[in-house]
Amino acid sequence: MTKAMRVQLVEGKAGDPWSDSALLSFTGGDAFIHIGATNGASLVAAQRAARRLDGMGVTEVALSGDGWDIESRWAFWAGYFNPKVTKTIHWGSEDDEEIKELAARESAARWVREITNGTPDDVSPRVLAESAAEMLQKLAPQALSYRIVAGDDLLREGFVGIHNVGRGSVREPVMLQVDYNPTGEDTAPVDTCLVGKGITFDSGGYSIKPSSNMATMKSDMGGAAMVTGGLALAIARGLNKRVKMYLCCAENLVSGHAFKLGDIIKYKNDVTVEVLNTDAEGRLVLADGLIAASEEQPRWLLDAATLTGAAKMAVGRDFNSVFSFEDEMARKVLDAAAQENEKAWRLPLENFHLEQTPSSFADISNIGIDGSPGASTAAAFLARFVPKEGRNWVHMDLSGSYQPAANDLWATGAKGHGLRTIARFLQEN
């Protein structure tokens, strides 16, 4: 630990020779983060300073002094993470429970960030599913079981959306089904189901994306990563409820076997969907997961996906978007985000949005009519696959989960922003 730079979080402004607005000052081997330079915003100051220390090539730090608490320590880690460089943080806490919580957060967030940042060649649909299953099973080997449904077996079990989207790739699409059951009773009711979009690369299919928009599409499995990370953190915190999770994993590529515009998909719940845009594929795979989850009759159902550019246009990349027909259901997620110091914002979802994906040949199409709100109609599409008109269901569009270029708070790539919200939702509802 002798090579670690000691970092203190202090109130007030830096003294001479530093300017009053300096965020960081240095004395010998110590760095000082000045809260006063960010108007008392200690979490922002810690994360911003961590980014600057990363930029200076500092690879090992020890957080010291009395200015730190668990949230500022975590904010520092979030900013200090660099996908290219291995870093070491000595938390500087003597509180065993605090250290345990920080370790659980880091383990879950690091997995989310690293699997999402992985190359699309390395992270195939099956690799994503197997990595998620193995990571979770290590946390709860006695309480957790899983199965993977792959390739043509998806058709035999009625998961036509995942199969259609993934059939254009030589690497088979898969659904991961996880059962976390700490009760040990096979007949125990399922409290919550999680569903995640796992498109490990999205070319847009025949509605192909421009190259500039395709460059970050290895991150289109962010929803699958996020619900997995959220469940992992909740398990590490002692979650004592039965939870089932469904990851809907595929590559959306162009080939002679790929699905096409004009295709009609008939789902297990008898809803037919006309494909009018193959780049609106996330909702097609999520439909399978929502149907499977609904069959379990859970108390709550939450899905998460990097679903629409419209959500990012609405709230930017600092917030995740929340959709529900029910005020109380939306509030549960918003409250969970607030308690975990993550940012989430509710966007509109009303019954009339259900009417905005018409088709001349099927029950609905997979895109909204011209002029309709893209994020809301995408959520409304998903609602078609949830029973009781969307009761006890919430959709998270992960607007804030990936940073296409580094900024003053985050490195380029996955952020893990949202997994704590999901973990808290699982724990407290």
Buried b (16+ CB within 10 A) or exposed e, 149-172: bbeeebeeeebbbbbbbbbbbebb
- Tell me if residue 218 is catalytic: no
CB–CB of 270/183 below 8 Å?
no
In angstroms and rounded to an integer, the radius of gyration of the C-alpha atoms of the chain is: 22
| Residue 266 CA neighbour count, 13 Å, CB half | 2
- Tell me if residue 283 is catalytic: yes
Query: Which listed residue (209, 268, 317, 346) is catalytic?
Result: 209
Query: Which listed residue (113, 242, 283, 415) is catalytic?
Result: 283
Q: Which amino acid makes up residue 386?
A: V
Residue with tokens 């600092």: 318
Return all residues near 373 (Cβ < 8 A) that are at least 6 apart.
Answer: 310, 348, 353
Return all residues near 353 (Cβ < 8 A) that are at least 6 apart.
Answer: 372, 373, 376, 377, 379, 380
Contacts for 111-115 with beta carbons within 8 Å, 24 or more apart? 111/135, 111/225, 111/228, 111/229, 111/232, 112/225, 112/226, 112/228, 112/229, 112/414, 112/416, 112/419, 113/81, 113/83, 113/413, 113/414, 113/415, 113/416, 114/83, 114/414, 115/221, 115/225
Task: Determine if residue 180 is left, alpha or beta; phi over 0 gives left, psi from -120 to 50 gives alpha, anything else beta.
Answer: beta
* Catalytic residue set: 209, 283
